[in-house]
Amino acid sequence: MENFNGILDFLKKLKKNNDREWFNDNKKEFESARDQFIGFLGYLIGQIEMFDKNIVGVDPKKSMYRIYRDTRFSKDKTPYKSHFGGYICAGGRASGNPGYYVHIEPDGNSIIGGGLYHPMPDVLAKVRQEIDYNGGKLMEIMNNDSFKKR
């Protein structure tokens, strides 16, 4: 797996020059960074498939979020996100299935996590029920030093 210098360099520049003219002038650099991120998602999918058979065959291109921001209801009117993000799960990003979120951003703001975002009410009820039934086991996992952030 190659390093993230191309991605991070582009995102740093984008954060300082977040306007359409600059973005259009640097479209090739964006495409290169985007392709590198898609490659990273593909690598992650291959690694995750080893322990989570639900994501076998997930397309990394369809796992990536777009870089264009929806500014209609936002106070921040910058047209582009200053990070690359992706969600790896069975059925695609909008499926409502649990999965793995990937966020690459300069200055130490990158994360990889797992979970369930904005579940439907029936799914949320089932998750809450399982937490209630297995709360002791959940607390044991969460209190384990290997689980906690270092």
Place of tokens 């990158």: 110
CA dihedral 33, 84, 40, 141 (to 10 degrees): 160
Pick from 109, 116, 139: nearest CA to 15 = 109
Model confidence, pTM: 0.85
pLDDT digits (tens, 9 = 90+) for 55-114: 999 999 999 999 999 999 999 999 999 999 999 999 888 888 899 999 999 999 999 999
CB proximity list for 47: less than 8 A, separation 6 or greater: none
List the structure tokens of 102: 């990937």
Domain boundaries, the chain: 5-116, 119-150
Please write the tens of the pLDDT for every residue from 28-61.
999 999 999 999 999 999 999 999 999 999 999 9
